[in-house]
Structures are given as structure tokens and as C-alpha cells.
Amino acid sequence: EVQQVESGGGLVQPGGSLRLSCAASGFSVSSNYMGWVRQAPGKGLEWVSSIYSGGGTYYADSVKGRFTISRDKSKNTLYLQMNSLRAEDTAVYYCARDNLRAGLFGYWGQGTLVTVSS
Amino acid sequence: DIQMTQSPSSLSASVGDRVTISCRASQGIGNYLAWYQQKPGKVPKLLIFAASTLHSGVLPRFSGSGSGTDFTLTISSLQPEDVATYYCQRYNNAPFTFGPGTNVDIK
């Protein structure tokens, strides 16, 4: 079955770190344009970060310098390392992908909730 | 950065009505415009990409048009299962900005 499954969300204190994982099956994370999109409670969609099939990485200004996107070809998994977390990072984080064009998200995971609170 | 706006922010229409949602980019983005549907409590789904191309499995009552800065999503005959928030998104280059969303409800 072709799918991607996120994990790693949870409760973390402000200033803390968390690493999200997106395990892929039925397709290669290295051959697709992969990205993370988040949605704060009751709010709209916000693009967070993308990694191109060629390896280039891009970030929203709101997370630049704090978040790092990466992928492991051997594990066929996408990651989002989140450091210096703030209350405003609280959201459901979705792993999304497409093979047509970077930034287009034709296929989404179920999401993982990150809560930043003391 | 290029900003995306949508209008209206919400609408209520009757079953069978034709519904139109507008999306505007602050600068030209060619046809690199996508529309997503998010039903309450569900994961977003891609409806349309390249401004007017239906994603696999999307019913043909959904259509998109436009290029440059002005785009439109049309639902030709609104159905109860179309109750959702609709987002436009530009993907010509990063940052891949989403619009604020339009909530569609049944009158």
C-alpha cells in the first residue's frame, strides 16, 4: 500500500526539541518532492519545509534556523528536527508529497500533533 | 514574499447551487496554483493543480480557472458532502504559501 505515516509528536516544553518522522511505503522519499505542512488548532494550513528530490531544502521564515528537514534513503523516511520550540509551533504536522512539482502536495499523511506548553 | 488572498472567507449555499471561490496572488505565479479541500476533522486533499487540472479521483463538478494573479474554484452543483474549507496554494517557488481558506456550508 502506498502511504506515509507520521510519528514523533507529543508534548514538549518551550525551548525544547522534537524530531518528527514520516515513514514511507510504496514509494521512494528520495524520488519525490517531500514536505511538511502544519495546522494550528482551529487555523489554516501553513507550509513549513520542503526537500526536493535533488536534495535542496527550503523553510518558511517562521521556522528557519530552528527546524531541519532531512531524509534517510535506507529507511525510506523523512524527518523534521524541531529545536527551540515555541508555543506558536503547536499544531498538527502533516507529511505530504508529490512527484510532479516541489510544493505541490497530492498525497498526505494523517498528521501528528505537537503541543508546546509548560 | 507573494501573498495569497481568498474571497469570500465563508459562504452558505443551497444544495445544487453553483459556488465560486476566488483566490488572488499579490504577484503573478503563472498557473502554479493548487486547490485543496479539507473536510471537518479530516486530512486536506488536493483537488486541482496547475490552476485547472483535476487531481486523480476528483469529481468533475469541481473545476478551476485562471492564471497570473487571479484564480477561481467552481463547484457546479453543491452537494452536502462538499461542506469543507477550501484553500488555494501557490507552488511556483518557495515559500509555498496557502491562502487563508474559504468555509463552505449548506444553507
pLDDT given at position A38 = 98
Q: Minimal Cα distance from B43: which residue of A?
A: A110
Torsion of CA A89, A13, A114, B97, to 10 degrees: 10
Give the β-pairing of B10-13 and B102-106: parallel
pLDDT given at position A1 = 87
pLDDT given at position A99 = 87
Task: Say yes or no for a CB contact (<8 Å) between A101 and B32.
Answer: yes
The verdict on B62 touching A (C-beta cutoff 8 Å) is: no
pLDDT given at position A50 = 97
- CB-based contact B13:B107 (threshold 8 Å): yes
- HSE (CB half, 13 Å, CA atoms) of A85? 23
- CB-based contact B52:B62 (threshold 8 Å): no
Q: Which residues of A touch B (CB under 8 A)?
A: 35, 37, 44-47, 50, 58, 60-61, 94, 98, 100-111
Task: Say yes or no for a CB contact (<8 Å) between B91 and A58.
Answer: no
**Helix and strand numbers, DSSP H then E, in chain A:** 0, 11
The residues with which A13 forms a beta bridge, in sequence order, are none
- Interface mutation vs chain A, best among B55, B87, B96, B97, most A CBs within 10 Å: B96
From the list B75, B97, B79, B78, the residue with the least C-alpha distance to B88 is B97
Task: Say yes or no for a CB contact (<8 Å) between A102 and B98.
Answer: no
How close B12 gets to chain A, by Cα (Å)? 19
Beta strands in chain B (DSSP E): 4-7, 10-13, 19-25, 33-38, 45-49, 53-54, 62-67, 70-75, 84-90, 102-106
How close B48 gets to chain A, by Cα (Å)? 9
pLDDT given at position A83 = 98
Encode chain B (107 residues) as per-residue pLDDT tens digits.
Answer: 999 999 999 999 999 999 999 999 999 999 999 999 999 999 999 999 999 999 999 999 999 999 999 999 999 999 999 999 999 999 999 999 999 999 999 99
Chain B residues lying within 8 Å of A44, measured CB to CB: 85, 87, 98-101
Task: Say yes or no for a CB contact (<8 Å) between B96 and A103.
Answer: yes
Encode chain A (118 residues) as per-residue pLDDT tens digits.
Answer: 899 999 999 999 999 999 999 999 999 999 999 999 999 999 999 999 999 989 999 999 999 999 999 999 999 999 999 999 999 999 999 999 998 899 999 999 999 999 999 9
pLDDT given at position B9 = 98
pLDDT given at position B53 = 98
Task: Say yes or no for a CB contact (<8 Å) between B55 and A50.
Answer: no
3-state secondary structure of A98: strand
Task: Say yes or no for a CB contact (<8 Å) between B94 and A102.
Answer: yes
**Helix and strand numbers, DSSP H then E, in chain B:** 0, 10
